[in-house]
Amino acid sequence: MSTTRNLTRATLWGTFWSYASFYSGKLMVFVSTVVLARLLSEEDFGVAGYALVVISFLQVMNDLGTGQAIIYHRDDPDAPNTGFWLGLGMGIVMFIMTWAIAPLAGLFFHDQRAIPVTRAIGVVFPIVAVGNTHDVLLRRDLSFGRKFVPDFITAFTKGLISIGLAFTDVGAWSLIGGQVFGKMAGAFTLWQVYPWRPQLRFNPRMARALLSFGVNIMVVNALGALIANADYLLVGRYMGAAALGVYTLAFRLPDLLVMQFCYIIGRVIFPVYTTLRTDLDALRQGFLNTARYVSLITVPLGLGMALVARPVVLTFFTERWMDAIAPMRAIAIYALMLSLAHNVGDVYKAQGRPQILTYISLGRLAVLLPGLWWAVTSIQTIAAVGWTHAAVAFLTGVLELALASRLLKTPFRKILEALAPALLAGLFMVLVVQGVLFLSATLIPILQLSLSTLAGGVAYLGILWVFQHDVLLTAFGILRGAIQH
């Protein structure tokens, strides 16, 4: 069996288990979101959002970027122990830092309710640090089947605790409590699943090597956090907790279906790519295959979510959340644009050149921040914020794919050819779903959602079967082989 085919099968096998664990747990999180949307107010979602956005900025420093550095230095036995103690020390520092700067969150958002929730959620830093190295080693060894249990337990506990607390009328604290207890359960389970135990060994030479690699990852992650959360910051500061609550809810489903899928792919593909960093031909073909098969999933998910946003909101969250419909459409397109170039960064990191991501992120941030500022202060709608994200994601995605073309020494048209089946089938699906939505406009939302989803799925797979028969058969064949692995 060829190296490229091994890459594809390893990627899909890891993705299958990661996706299974993620979505089996996220089903509970989705249920909790539906329940919380009925029990909590927009203000409650917004107050919890204050804490979550602060934590999102800080957590990029939690392990100093050593997680992926451990994978990169996979053959050095000192890497896990040194990385564990670096990460744990930083986790404790981050908890103290979060407690100290929480009052600044209250000042920034003009809302003192941000202070206690920010301090409370800061405890996740040392909790995550305790299990982070175990998680990294499972990914390094491509043991994604074994990662199923801790991933599932984390998500399941988060959803269960959130629902339980929501019924006790504690408001935003139900979301905070779910986050904390979910991380605790996940860390405990990682120690049960993976038998590695940290030793009292700290190698300064390895620490320097991990930090040298990790600092670039940390900078990229910090820029990524700013890119991903600048909208939350600006909406929360200038439009208030209620608007932030609606925007947070609007983000939930596109994030769950599209963005988190890309995140899973990244966690699977990076350790696979590192094994091929000296084989440019295999890495090139692996990248093209990954782009092709990822787009086959994310294109219909992103377009579909944008099309059926109205019946989705009315069915699951009720008319009370009508304001979430417009931003959900925009965010779904943003998630789609992001997905098309998402795994490019893993190519750079696998070849030991993560600094390229830093430059790209800086350029993207230079365009994004003025755009978001304009959307929040001039247009003053959360839908405009979402569409600004989508436009910037499109422009930077084209740039990233062009850079990948040069780095991998492959013509740009080859990348377009890899994406073409999904994009063309997606356009046909849009026409069909729009027609069904128009004809079913008088039906209740759940029937309209069911009919349009079914029609869209049939149209998408049908057009692929007619015009991209080989691509579809190959995708099914590889997936079947991966599952039987």
Residue pLDDT, tens place only, 14-37: 555 555 555 566 666 677 778 778
User: Shortest CA distance to 412 belongs to which of 424, 399, 395?
Assistant: 399
Listed residue (473, 54, 65) closest to 270, CA to CA: 65
| Residue 466 identity | V
- The residue among 382 and 18 whose pLDDT is bigger is 382
Give the highest mean pLDDT range of 6-15, 75-84, 389-398.
389-398
Give the CA angle between residues 303, 306, 310 to the nearest 5°: 145
Place of tokens 């089947």: 145
Please answer whether residues 294 and 350 qualify as being in contact, where contact means their C-beta atoms are separated by less than 8 angstroms: no
Asked if residue 231 has pLDDT above 50, the reply is yes
Q: How confident is the model at residue 166 (pLDDT cuts 50, 70, 90)?
A: confident
Contact 153, 27 (CB under 8 A): no
pLDDT interval class at 116 (50, 70, 90): very high
Residue type, 360: I
User: How far is residue 2 CA from its own chain's centroid?
Assistant: 31
- Tens digits of per-residue pLDDT, 428-447? 999 999 999 999 999 999 99
* Tokens read off for 283: 């890495």
In 3D space, the residue among 257, 286, 262, 289 whose CA is nearest the CA of residue 274 turns out to be: 286
Q: Which DSSP category does 444 fall into?
A: -
| pLDDT band, residue 206 (cuts 50/70/90) | confident
pLDDT(478) > 60: no
Cβ neighbours around 187 below 10 Å, total: 22
Cβ-contact 29, 151 below 8 angstroms? no
Q: How confident is the model at residue 264 (pLDDT cuts 50, 70, 90)?
A: low
The per-residue pLDDT for 425 is: 94
Q: What pLDDT digit, counting tens, does each position of 295-328 carry?
A: 888 899 999 999 999 999 999 988 889 999 999 9
Amino acid in position 403: L
Say if residue 357's pLDDT is above 60: yes
Give the angle 259-263-269 at the CA atoms, nearest 5°.
140
> Per this entry, what is the length of the chain?
485
pTM > 0.85: no
**CA dist., res. 101 & res. 123, Å (int):** 14
Alpha-helical segments (H) within 110-203: 114-121, 124-140, 144-166, 173-193
Q: How far apart are CA 439 and CA 200, in angstroms?
A: 67
Q: How far apart are CA 298 and CA 261, in angstroms?
A: 8
Tokens of 449: 């959602």
Q: Which residue has the tokens 């909590």?
A: 40
- pLDDT tens by residue, 168-204: 888 889 989 998 999 999 999 999 988 889 888 888 8
Whether residue 476 is predicted with pLDDT greater than 70 in this model: the reply is no
Return d(Cα 362, Cα 160) in angstroms, integer.
39
C-alpha to C-alpha distance for 23 and 247, rounded to whole angstroms: 22
**What does the pLDDT look like over 53-98, one tens digit per residue?**
888 777 766 666 666 677 777 667 788 888 888 888 888 988 999 9
Q: Which residue has the higher pLDDT, 10 or 206?
A: 206
Helices (H), 255-381: 260-274, 280-307, 309-316, 325-340, 344-350, 355-374
Q: What whole-number distance in Å separates Cα of residue 95 and Cα of residue 90?
A: 9
Residue 348 pLDDT exceeds 70: no
Predicted confidence at residue 1, as pLDDT, reads: 45
